[in-house]
Amino acid sequence: MGADNLDGCIDVPVKRGDSALHMTCFDGFLPCVQPLHYAVSGGYLEVVQLLVREGASLTAANVRGKVPAVLAQPESEVRRFLDEAAAAVTSASNSH
């Protein structure tokens, strides 16, 4: 079964123990894989922090044209973290 004909959860192993998410990455369909957007939507602060620390883009739009901060619940810890991270990036770029 390939990623193109999956009808289920992207995390369920479907081929050699790989999930659809793994297969999507292996097959080079990276534009459709945006873990930060999913973590933000789910409210997973620690995952969001890890992804941002590792270089996930705060300004990359998903296939619907939405950036991560737009997907966060207003007044949530995730939204506050994203706003602070964006401010830090802006501050750092302005100081150069």
DSSP secondary structure letter of residue 15: E
Output the six-digit token pair for 59: 């300004």
Output the six-digit token pair for 34: 């945006």
Q: How confident is the model at residue 89 (pLDDT cuts 50, 70, 90)?
A: confident
Spatial separation of the C-alpha atoms in residues 81 and 76, rounded to whole Å: 9
Q: Residue 13: helix, strand or coil by DSSP?
A: strand
Query: Which of 24-28, 53-57, 70-74 has the least mean pLDDT?
Result: 24-28
Q: How confident is the model at residue 1 (pLDDT cuts 50, 70, 90)?
A: very low
Asked whether residue 62 carries a pLDDT value surpassing 90, the answer given is: no
Domains and CATH numbers, the chain: 1-30 (no CATH), 34-91 (1.25.40.20)
pLDDT at residue 76 in the model = 97
Spatial separation of the C-alpha atoms in residues 32 and 15, rounded to whole Å: 20
pTM above 0.85? no
Spatial separation of the C-alpha atoms in residues 81 and 75, rounded to whole Å: 10
pLDDT at residue 30 in the model = 55
Q: Using an 8 Å Cβ cutoff, are 5 and 35 in contact?
A: no
